[in-house]
Structure 1
Amino acid sequence: MSFFRRRAGEDAQAGERGRRAFGFGRKAPRALPPVLDLSHGDAELRELRALADAGDWAALGPALAAVPDQAELTWLLHRISDVEGIEGWLAETVAERPEDTLALLLSGARQIAWAWEARTGQRAQYVTDEQWQLFHERLDTAEEQLFEVAEREPSWLGPWFFLQIAARGASLGRSVAGTRFEAALRRDPAHLASHQQRLQQLCAKWGGSHEEMHAFARTSMLAAPEGSPLGELVALAHLEQWLDLPDGEDHAYLTGPAVRAGLREAALRSVLHPGYRRRRDWRATHNAFAMVLSLADERELAHAVFATLDDVVTDWPWYYLGGDEAENFRAHRDRCAAR
């Protein structure tokens, strides 16, 4: 989820706001601090990211090809694609092995992440002409490569997931983004990450509205069986509206009775439901629920979610609070434990 980051310049204000609102600052009761883990506590992903960083496609390619589940493969590729600097050896690999569709898919995913690195997290008016040019050039390359993958492997989920991100970045419009979302769902109707991308497309900051966003989140949750991770969409929608509100109004919004009731329902229907089963990407979902429930002052439920994480901190969504992600996690965890 590295494409959802709060704009630069707002991080410090948001972090201070969160600490001030909840009176953080007490000494942590635990001896060992939580740890930010870009591999989300997944040992295999950690090894794969190391192979990518080393440019070892001879080992990385077969390891990825052995992953049978398309949702898991897409998640792994997404997390590997943000390893800085891999675009160089990927370009060489694609040129030397044009028949290697998996290498082409990872290259397309990397081009998107690389495009956002060029754009930076600045507000649009602070992005230079050169940065915009690089951003769009890299997105164009991604589109070309991903459509080639989709043509070669019609059953693959990955290209349609990444094409949703590219469509939003290139401002191709809601119709194009919607078509790509539907294509992803034809390959995996319950794909959480694709639903997250659609939620972003419906956000006010991307030309949608709070009403559309919340309607999509709730409808998706209720259409899925209880125990589905799609309940996270409700939490993310409330988080997005919180991010859009000024200081003071944001806290009042998340702690309002209706929002708290919606968050309780979403948590109890998904990550805290007896029928819930953890997927490879479960720690990001649990981190998201832990943070939003804590911000909403639902300490008991937040504590229950924190307890599942063994202090594994994912960068998203804690970077929304500004400052150090692991410290943000610790402060909220300890406050909820002392409820």
Structure 2
Amino acid sequence: MGQGAPVGQGGRRSLGFGRKAPRALPPVLDLAHGDEELRRLRDLAEAGDWDALGPALAAVGDQAGLTWLLHRISSVEGTEVWLARTVAERPGDTLLLLLAGARQIAWAWEARTGQRSQHVTEEQWRTFGERLETAEEQLLDVAEREPGWLAPWFFLQIAARGASLGRTVATTRFDAAVRRDPGHLASHQQRLQQLCAKWGGSHEEMHAFARTAMLAAPEGSPFGELVALAHLEHWLDLPDGEDHAYLTGPAVRSSLREAVLRSVLHPAYRRRRDWRATHNAFAMVLALADERELAHAVFATLDDVVTDWPWYYLGGDEAENFRVQRDRCAPR
């Protein structure tokens, strides 16, 4: 599972062009990312059933898996109400406090919206800041109670960026996360965001971090996604016309080919729990870069399961964005 296609002549993988594509199924936006356990846990969160949700989360055996589940559960709208009430009733429950802090971050971004900063109202900024402040207090408390846990440091990276706490704080929190799990892709994704031009970094610093992290990881690591995400962020920062020229330029296309063939299409690659988001990201960026053969190879792994991120960057309906690009890249 998760291995790339066999290598063909000249070292290039045979990706299936020339074979008739099967009839495509309608793509589906799936907030559970095709993970049935996550789907069940999101339902429990929506129902406010901590008596069932808490033990299920406590039973997760690895810190990266728990962090991913918490991140996805924290996006369930309305949970902040019962979480605040239950935290007050059970102040000693550290896992509950962790989920509450994660939810405060997601809730803060709901108030801020995804608009550029100049389009966010004063009231939205105020609410954003208040919720991030609550998240900071809760997550730092968790980190003090459970110094070995990865999750609080992952979420504290997001809080630091939103609250503009500066490069030193951001770096300290990233370092704290990777000390606990050096191969934690999601923490590296948050570091990449911190280095984006829109958050006070630069394209040069962002690309250098992504490529260095990819090359430091073994072949077959999902860290190649960082290179794709850096190009996506650069593309998003450019005006109309320049963005397409950038992403379809020979240097960027070469970089993307290297990244995908080193990661999700490499024979040593193995799928992790969060693999569908990584594959969706590669599929989208490769399609936009007009690397249709490689994009098709990645689309073919997804069985039309659409993750909300990164397709919402294109505006409109995420599943329809997925369908358009999937069909455009399908072999004729």
TM-score in same-fold range (> 0.5): yes
Q: How do 1:253-268 and structure 2 match up within 5 A?
A: 253-268=246-261
Q: Distance in 2 between matches of 1:278 and 1:128?
A: 41
Match of 2:221 in 1: 228
User: What is the CA-CA distance between 1:143 and the residue it aligns to?
Assistant: 0.4
Q: Distance in 2 between matches of 1:39 and 1:276?
A: 22
Q: Distance in 2 between matches of 1:32 and 1:337?
A: 13
Match of 1:12 in 2: none
Q: What is the root-mean-square deviation of aligned Cα atoms in Å?
A: 1.2
The verdict on how the C-alpha distance between 1:185 and 1:31 changes in structure 2, with shifts beyond 3 A counting, is closer
Listed one character per residue, the Cα deviations across residues 249-287 of structure 1 (whole Å, up to 9, x for unaligned) are 111111111111100000010000111111110000000
Q: Provide the aligned length of Structure 1 versus Structure 2.
A: 312
Q: Percent identity?
A: 87
> Where do 5+ consecutive residues of structure 2 fail to align?
1-20
Paired letter, 2:87: V
C-alpha contact (below 8 Å) 1:112/1:166 kept by paired residues: yes
User: What is the CA-CA distance between 1:29 and the residue it aligns to?
Assistant: 8.2
Match of 1:290 in 2: 283
Q: Does 1:36 align with 2:50?
A: no
Match of 2:163 in 1: 170
Q: Does 1:80 align with 2:73?
A: yes
Q: Does 1:142 align with 2:135?
A: yes
Q: Distance in 1 between matches of 2:273 and 2:251?
A: 31
User: What is the CA-CA distance between 1:334 and the residue it aligns to?
Assistant: 1.1
Q: Distance in 1 between matches of 2:45 and 2:75?
A: 10
Q: Distance in 2 between matches of 1:300 and 1:125?
A: 39
> Where do 5+ consecutive residues of structure 1 fail to align?
1-27
Listed one character per residue, the Cα deviations across residues 57-96 of structure 1 (whole Å, up to 9, x for unaligned) are 0000000000011000000000000100000100111111
Q: Does 1:51 align with 2:57?
A: no
Q: Distance in 2 between matches of 1:230 and 1:243?
A: 21
User: What is the CA-CA distance between 1:336 and the residue it aligns to?
Assistant: 1.0
Match of 1:276 in 2: 269
C-alpha contact (below 8 Å) 1:29/1:334 kept by paired residues: no
User: What is the CA-CA distance between 1:210 and the residue it aligns to?
Assistant: 0.3
User: What is the CA-CA distance between 1:126 and the residue it aligns to?
Assistant: 3.0
Which among 174, 194, 205 is matched to residue 212 of structure 1?
Answer: 205
Q: Distance in 2 between matches of 1:127 and 1:186?
A: 35
Q: Distance in 2 between matches of 1:174 and 1:43?
A: 38
Q: Distance in 2 between matches of 1:270 and 1:323?
A: 29
Q: How do 1:240-259 and structure 2 match up within 5 A?
A: 240-259=233-252
Q: Does 1:202 align with 2:189?
A: no
Match of 1:110 in 2: 103
Match of 1:186 in 2: 179
Which among 268, 277, 292 is matched to residue 299 of structure 1?
Answer: 292
Q: Secondary structure at the match of 2:223?
A: helix
Q: Distance in 2 between matches of 1:106 and 1:261?
A: 41
Q: Distance in 2 between matches of 1:251 and 1:278?
A: 30
Match of 1:237 in 2: 230
Q: Distance in 1 between matches of 2:22 and 2:242?
A: 31
C-alpha contact (below 8 Å) 1:291/1:318 kept by paired residues: yes
Q: Secondary structure at the match of 1:229?
A: coil
Q: Distance in 1 between matches of 2:307 and 2:282?
A: 12
Q: Distance in 2 between matches of 1:113 and 1:43?
A: 22
User: What is the CA-CA distance between 1:119 and the residue it aligns to?
Assistant: 1.3
User: What is the CA-CA distance between 1:248 and the residue it aligns to?
Assistant: 1.1
